[in-house]
Structure 1
């Protein structure tokens, strides 16, 4: 990992991530390695949704969506809020939203042949 020196603009090595940080990242990527969960996270990166809306948005049965949401919640990737009788879900924070968007932008480059950029 590298950081820019603000004065000279040169790259300097950063400290290696801790074992706990690596394990947390691996757990998050493991959760995102499922297509249904990745699709859910894409939708949840844009706002709050209840289970029925999510099921309709990704065309997956409600019980399956509920199971995936429970896993994503336990992994700390989504958060919930009550609105009357409904439970609304959304991506936990800007870091999670950025990971989802970057992963899918990378995939778009791979699939479409868009030139890579540094």
Structure 2
């Protein structure tokens, strides 16, 4: 018999209820999983890391990250739609900045586990 399965079927209902009351809603877990999927992209992580340092435009990010401007724009659109980055227009240039610095903290935690 496997050592990771209970041998006795006995449920501590009070424990199950206590933990259930402390857990978040299913929607919250789905949104969290979606966020981690979003952060699971190498180029999006690099873009977020760059924007943590300074507000930048697509052409600057393209040069910095050695990516095409269309690829940068695509990734920024995804990040903007999820509220991770902001943009502002100044004349004919569009500048992007990190909307939520806590997102970068998640990345730092990931870096520290490598």
* TM-score band, normalised by shorter chain: 0.7 to 0.9
Deviation at 1:83, TM superposition (A): 1.9
1:77 CA displacement: 1.3
Inter-CA distance 84–15: structure 2 relative to 1 (3 Å threshold): farther
Cα deviation digits, residues 33-53 of structure 1 (max 9, x gap): 111111111111222110001
54-63 or 91-100, which deviates more: 91-100
Aligned length: 95
Structure 2 distance, partners of 1:20, 1:73, is 21
The answer on whether the counterparts of 1:44 and 1:90 sit within 8 Å (CA) in structure 2 is yes
- Write the deviation string for residues 38-82 of structure 1: whole angstroms up to 9, x where unpaired: 111111122211000111111111111111111111122111122
Max Rg structure: 2
Q: TM-score, normalised by structure 2?
A: 0.73
C-alpha distance in 2 between matches for 1:90 and 1:102: 21
Are 2:90 and 1:101 equivalent residues in the alignment?
no
Is 1:21 matched up with 2:28? Answer: yes
Change (3 A) 1:57 1:21: same
| 3-state secondary structure, aligned to 1:45 | helix
Please list every run of 5 or more consecutive structure 1 residues that lacks an aligned counterpart in the other structure: 1-12, 111-118
Unaligned runs of 5+ in 2: 1-18
Corresponding residue of 2:67: 60
Alignment of 1:37-116 (within 5 A): 37-106=44-113, 110=114
| RMSD of aligned residue pairs (Cα, Å) | 1.8
TM-score calculated relative to the size of structure 1: 0.71
